[in-house]
Structure 1
Amino acid sequence: MVTMLSMVILTICMLIIIRKFNINLSLFPAKFTTVYVCASIIAAILLIVTPSNFTGGIKAISLLIYGSIVTPIFEELIFRGFIWNKLNAVILKEWKTYIVTTILFALWHLGYIGSIAFRVNEGLFHVMMWKVIIGLCYGMVLGMVRIKTKNCYSTILLHGVMNIFGR
């Protein structure tokens, strides 16, 4: 719960700084088409009907909100928003930006060791290696979506949906 609260506070601070310094994150699509509206509705429905909402109590609902809403917004604003746009301005080759952000995103998941170490008795190294591998796979998919759509909104939605099924 503390981690979720920290991420919410950091996301709010990040959005305030971004707004103050007029930093472009390519957050929303140029035009909110029917596809985006339908994707948003589907993501919301999936979140609402997730079985843990009905069987796991408030703790399960909190974890679902953390994993499928808070974390995707936080991570996507950083990786497919801020870092992506800054690297694209310097590198000028989107495929290189894709590779760098994908690797950074994978390595970022090593930072979750603090919360994982308390739940794993043995094999922490293997668990963390899988976190990096899964982060790499997520990063590859989300990066391709970012290239295709040119915005973070689509990656936030997809990241949230993937986390519903992959927590």
Structure 2
Amino acid sequence: MKSRANYKEYILDSIFIIFVVQLARISIKFILLSQLNLSLINLIITSIISFLIVGTFFVLIFKDNEKFNPSRIKIINMLNNQSKQIRIIIGTIFLICLFLSIYFNDEYDIYNIGILILSIIIIPIFEELLFREYIWNYLSNYTKNTLIVFICITVIYALYQVGYIDIIKQYMQVTHSPGYVVDSIMISTTKGLIMGSLLGIAKIKLKDTSICMLLHGIFS
């Protein structure tokens, strides 16, 4: 193992990883959409499928890698007594938010159901495993300074939001939304910076990725 003082090159590795992940997701979604008409329903369905394929792929790659998953146990150990009460409380809040989202939704169609599944289940699990689990563990191998890991992960997570430009652009195209894609990306990146900071603090304080997933779902 190289000196911990050289952790900066591993930050570049992490940036490369998220670039590959986003590129793979965009490529898969593009292939799927090329066989379909561009519509809101097709956009959400192909997005869900692309997240599931890429997410499954990187879990299979990282799960037995000591640098990314050193404990070599299940990623989410829901039976662990540590932070159990906090997990139950946040889980209850999550379910209440989910119920309220469904209750106050005027239109109950495939698109809205898909958005709900994507935004509060698939993306939180996908992003928290990638950032607050795998990449967090990876960088922690090369620096014991938790603050450095926190700042790096938060900034990388915010930059990662730029990779969603395909979804944002296609959504605006289908719905004929006013405004510019760049503005939407800037807003998304700012939100990512804020949410990444809050989730990073939760990771440091509670050391539980499953709680980060639940909080991510609540924020969404």
> Normalising to structure 1: TM-score of the pair?
0.87
User: Could you tell me which residue of structure 1 aligns to residue 106 of structure 2?
Assistant: 55
Secondary structure of 1:90's partner?
coil
What is the letter of the counterpart of residue 31 of structure 1?
Answer: N
What is the rounded CA distance, in whole Å, between the counterparts of 1:89 and 1:25 in structure 2? Answer: 9
Q: CA deviation at 1:37?
A: 2.0
What is the rounded CA distance, in whole Å, between the counterparts of 2:140 and 2:87 in structure 1? Answer: 24
User: Could you tell me which residue of structure 1 aligns to residue 54 of structure 2?
Assistant: 10
Q: CA deviation at 1:34?
A: 2.2
What is the rounded CA distance, in whole Å, between the counterparts of 1:53 and 1:71 in structure 2? Answer: 22
What is the rounded CA distance, in whole Å, between the counterparts of 1:106 and 1:148 in structure 2? Answer: 21
What is the rounded CA distance, in whole Å, between the counterparts of 1:50 and 1:88 in structure 2? Answer: 37
What is the rounded CA distance, in whole Å, between the counterparts of 1:125 and 1:54 in structure 2? Answer: 28
Residue 81 (structure 2) pairs with residue 31 (structure 1) = yes
User: Could you tell me which residue of structure 2 aligns to residue 68 of structure 1?
Assistant: 120
Verify the 8 A CA contact 1:72 1:159 in the aligned structure 2. yes
Report the RMSD for the aligned CA atoms in angstroms.
Answer: 2.1
What is the letter of the counterpart of residue 109 of structure 1?
Answer: Q
Can you give the 5+ residue segments of structure 1 that lack an aligned partner in the other structure? Answer: none
Residue correspondence of structure 1 range 2-151 to structure 2 within 5 A: 2-21=46-65, 23-24=68-69, 27-28=75-76, 30-32=80-82, 33-51=84-102, 54-56=105-107, 57-118=109-170, 119=172, 120-151=177-208
Q: CA deviation at 1:15?
A: 2.5
What is the letter of the counterpart of residue 152 of structure 1?
Answer: T
Verify the 8 A CA contact 1:25 1:81 in the aligned structure 2. no
Verify the 8 A CA contact 1:25 1:152 in the aligned structure 2. no
What is the rounded CA distance, in whole Å, between the counterparts of 1:34 and 1:153 in structure 2? Answer: 13
Equivalenced residues, count: 163
> Normalising to structure 2: TM-score of the pair?
0.67
Judging by fraction of residues, say which structure has more helix: 1
What is the rounded CA distance, in whole Å, between the counterparts of 2:93 and 2:152 in structure 1? Answer: 30
What is the letter of the counterpart of residue 40 of structure 1?
Answer: G
Which digits, 9 at most, give the CA deviation of each residue in 1:29-82, with x for residues without a partner?
652522212322331232133146752222101101100100011011111011
Verify the 8 A CA contact 1:52 1:61 in the aligned structure 2. no
What is the letter of the counterpart of residue 150 of structure 1?
Answer: K
